[in-house]
Amino acid sequence: MANFTRRKFIQVAGGAAAISTLGFPAIVGAAGGKKVVVVGGGVGGATAAKYIRMADSSIDVTLIEPNTEYYTCFMSNEVLSGHRKMESIKVTYDGLKGHGVNVVHDTVTDIDAAGKKVMTAGGQTFEFDRCVVAPGISFQDNIEGYDAAAMEKMPHAWKAGEQTVLLRKQLEAMPDGGVVAIAAPPNPFRCPPGPYERACQIGMYLQAHKPKSKLIIMDAKDKFSKMGLFKQAFERYYKGTIEWVGASDGGKVTRVDAATNTLYVGDTAHKVDVANVIPAQKAAAIAEKAGLTNDAGWCPIDGRSFESSMQPGVHVIGDASVASPLPKSGYAANSEAKVCAAAIVELLNGREPGDPALVNTCYSVVGPNDAISVAMVYDLQDGKLGKVSGSGGLTPSDSSPEMRSREVQYAYSWFENIKNDSWG
Amino acid sequence: MGCNKKALVALIGSVLMVGATQVNAEPTATMLANTCAGCHGTEGKSVGPASPNLAGISKAYFIDSMNGFKNDERPGTIMNRIAKGYSEAQIDAMAAYFAGLPVYKAEVPHDAAKAKMGAEVYDKSCAKCHDENGALPDDDAGILAGQWLPFLEYSMADFQGGHREMPKKMKKQVEKLSDDEIAAVLNYFASQK
């Protein structure tokens, strides 16, 4: 019970705070009713908040998110190629307000599962009957020298926003004939096909504007998502431009020197013009602080309700949760959020959650008029999330240009719909 | 058929087992349908630019489409892979859910001049089966009104290319139309609000 002392402390501290601010509305919504607090306004958190309200408008839902606008990670690679503007990956919280979600822009500093309270940096305390934690990811220290300062020099761009803009600017500033490196992370990580789609998107930019340049993907793994289809795209569109180096061939970056833009694989130095370093990942810090994470840094859950296996009453969805075999993708987060929302509505109305149904669909735009996808249907099998046998799979490697071009249009359709389904 | 004590004990035992492990209660229709919304929009109202709206489509057409994808008789990209993940009963439940929603017609970007010309093509060649300018679910021909233009174009390309079977009456009409007329009528359907 490593968390016991900490939680005790929170209870005491929380009590003290309430007393010290007597007369002020420090404890929000303390009287009666059914209250849900959602921590995090990414795709998972936003969808959960919206779908709880859609299913039962008698439930009081508060979503706490520090940012007033959010940039989707999905499609942010198209910003790097210049095919898309930042504006198009921006969403706001106005849509959720329309569903009666109480949106609070503040940073959650702790979650007291036993005391059923969420605390924020702004000094507010929110009581809950059920809490949904959708905090996204943070980074592990698997690459020596990749600290906060190095991030500003060698952007990860793995949380869309300023980092995306920074990486784009670096690509624009790079001379023709320069070398771009993408250091791809070890499993598990947010958006498994992301680094490779990014390579394709940057590849399109280089070929159009800086044709003498090269892009090298230095990978911490030997295999990756949609590998056959990506390798086909590298060969088809980016021969001589994109090179992939797996871990066993010296691709695993162990150290960086941000001052000289150098990536090291052991003692071997690779000096590049633009370095996009994507470190290993884990659940965001708040999940760890709230006692929701396992030894690997991710949050185990019950697949029926996404309730934490570690803290009853708290549910974890999206990239932070261990929902395998679902990947850490936007669609998975959206799908998990709906299962979680339905379960919470049942639980708060004194009923047992029903069986879940989930889907993942993920598109990667790999070339001009060419997108590939992976899809899968999931359900609960012997109490655990599992793939529905016979369902899903990849775009066939011999699919026609006509079908690939349709996949681009469906990718853009998916993007508009999932944005609207989550935040709209 | 007497009350065999052994059998009764066994029966009670199995009931308890089922109760304890909560074996396979089917997901609700809403739960199943919600998985579609990431691509087809919340409650089947697609905000485009290519995925069709599902809100209000007839049960028969939904089931026919899903089975078409499932059995690879209707071309698709991911739908062939996704449809295989659902049982007949689940498809039935999703069909009932979408059929129970009001028909949704999206604001679809289209060519107004073509749409105008398409109105005549529609009256001449399509109106007999696609009632109410393609907005009537009960004709079991799919809702065409207010559908996203690329989706309509893909569907027509599949019909014309022989990748998807056309009803005899439709084939007869489509073969009489020029490419311009077809483009026009698709814009006409897309323009319906």
- Convert the pLDDT of each residue in B145-191 to its tens digit: 999 999 999 999 999 999 999 999 999 999 999 999 999 999 999 99
Q: Which class for A142: exposed (0-12), middle (13-18), buried (19 or more C-beta within 10 A)? A: middle
Question: In the predicted model, is pLDDT for residue A394 greater than 90?
Answer: yes
Residue A375 parent element (H or E): strand A370-381
Could you tell me the two tokens for A260? 């000289």
**What confidence category does residue A10 fall into, taking pLDDT thresholds of 50, 70 and 90?**
very low
From A83-97, A153-167, B98-112, B125-139, the region with the lowest mean pLDDT: B125-139
Residue B20 has pLDDT above 80, yes or no: no
Instruction: Using the predicted structure, report yes or no on whether residue A413 has a pLDDT greater than 50.
Output: yes
pLDDT digits (tens, 9 = 90+) for A172-205: 999 999 999 999 999 999 999 999 999 999 999 9
| Confidence label for A233 from pLDDT (cuts 50, 70 and 90) | very high
Q: What number of residues does chain B have?
A: 193
Write the pLDDT tens digit of every residue in B102-121.
999 999 999 999 999 999 99
DSSP H helices, B79-178, are 79-83, 88-99, 112-121, 131-134, 149-160, 168-176
B 115-134 → A contacts, CB under 8 A: none
Contacts of B51 in chain A (CB under 8 A): 410, 413-414, 417
- Residues from chain B contacting residue A392 (CB–CB below 8 Å): 81-82, 84-85
Residues of chain A contacting B35 with CB distance shorter than 8 Å: 335, 338, 357-359, 377
Residues of B in Cβ contact (< 8 Å) with A388: 85-86
Residue A26: its pLDDT value, please?
Answer: 41
| Cross-chain Cβ contact B35/A392 below 8 Å | no
Assess whether pLDDT exceeds 60 at residue B11: no
* Backbone angles phi and psi of A250, in degrees to 5: 95, 30
Rounded to an integer, the average pLDDT of A155-172 is 98
Of B27, B38, B77, the CB nearest to A355: B27
From the centroid of its chain, how far is CA A186? 15
Check CB contact of B163 with chain A, cutoff 8 Å: no
Residue A142 near residue A264, CB atoms below 8 Å = no
Is the distance from CB of A241 to CB of A205 less than 8 angstroms? no
Instruction: Tell if the CB–CB gap between B85 and A406 is shorter than 8 Å.
Output: no
Q: What are phi and psi of A60, to 5 degrees?
A: -85, 115
List residues bridging with A360 in a β-sheet. Answer: A376
Number of Cβ within 10 Å of residue A21's Cβ equals: 14
Q: How far apart are CA A201 and CA A179, in angstroms?
A: 15
Identify all chain A residues contacting B34, using CB atoms and an 8 Å cutoff: 51, 335, 338, 342, 357
Which residues on chain B are in Cβ contact (under 8 Å) with A424? 42, 47
- The nearest CA of chain A is from the CA of B154 a distance in Å of 8
End-to-end alpha carbon distance in chain A: 41
Rounded mean pLDDT, A391-396: 97
Residue-wise pLDDT tens digits, A285-339: 999 999 999 999 999 999 999 999 999 999 999 999 999 999 999 999 999 999 9
The predicted pLDDT at position B25 comes to: 72
Distances (CA, A) of A81 to A77, A212, B168, B177: 7, 16, 47, 41
pLDDT band (50, 70, 90) for residue B5: very low
Backbone angles phi, psi at A139, to 5 degrees: -105, 150
Instruction: Determine how β-strand A130-133 pairs with β-strand A34-39.
Output: parallel
Which amino acid appears at position A167 of this protein?
L
Q: What tokens appear for B95 in the block?
A: 């069909």
Read off the pLDDT band of B123 (50, 70, 90). very high
- Return the pLDDT at B24: 53
Distances (CA, A) of A2 to A12, A131, A309: 17, 21, 15
Token pair 């065999």 in the structure block, residue: B4
Specify the pairing of strand A108-112 against strand A69-71: unpaired
Q: How far is CA A327 from CA A33, A296, A375, A387, in A?
A: 35, 16, 10, 11
- Is it the case that residue A241 has pLDDT exceeding 80? yes
pLDDT value, residue A17: 40
Confidence of residue A33 (pLDDT cuts 50, 70, 90): confident
Token code pair at residue A111: 């979650």
Could you give the angle at the alpha carbon of B130 between the alpha carbons of B126 and B134, nearest 5°? 110
CA distances from A244 to A224, A270, A280, B62 (A): 11, 14, 18, 43
Is there a contact between A406 and B77 if contact means CB atoms under 8 Å apart? yes
Q: How far apart are CA A283 and CA A288, in angstroms?
A: 7
In this prediction the pTM is 0.91
Averaged pLDDT, B74-101? 97
Q: Are strands A59-64 and A34-39 parallel, antiparallel or unpaired?
A: parallel
CA torsion through residues A87, A93, A94, A99, sign:
positive
Residue A5 has pLDDT above 50, yes or no: no
Does A27 contact chain B (CB < 8 Å)? no
- Whole-number average pLDDT of chain A: 93
> Per-residue pLDDT averaged across A419-424, rounded?
98
pLDDT, residue B8, reads: 44
Half-sphere exposure of B129 (CA within 13 A, CB side): 15
A179: left (phi over 0), alpha (psi -120 to 50) or beta: beta
Token pair of A195 as six digits: 């680094």
Q: Which of chain B's residues have a Cβ under 8 Å away from the Cβ of A376?
A: 81, 85
Per DSSP, helices labelled H in A33-130 are 43-55, 76-81, 94-98
Whether residues A359 and B38 touch (CB distance < 8 A) is answered with yes
* Interchain contact A237–B (C-beta under 8 A): no
Cα A377 from Cα A359, distance rounded (Å): 5
| pLDDT of res. B138 | 85
Chain A nearest C-alpha distance from B34 (Å):
7
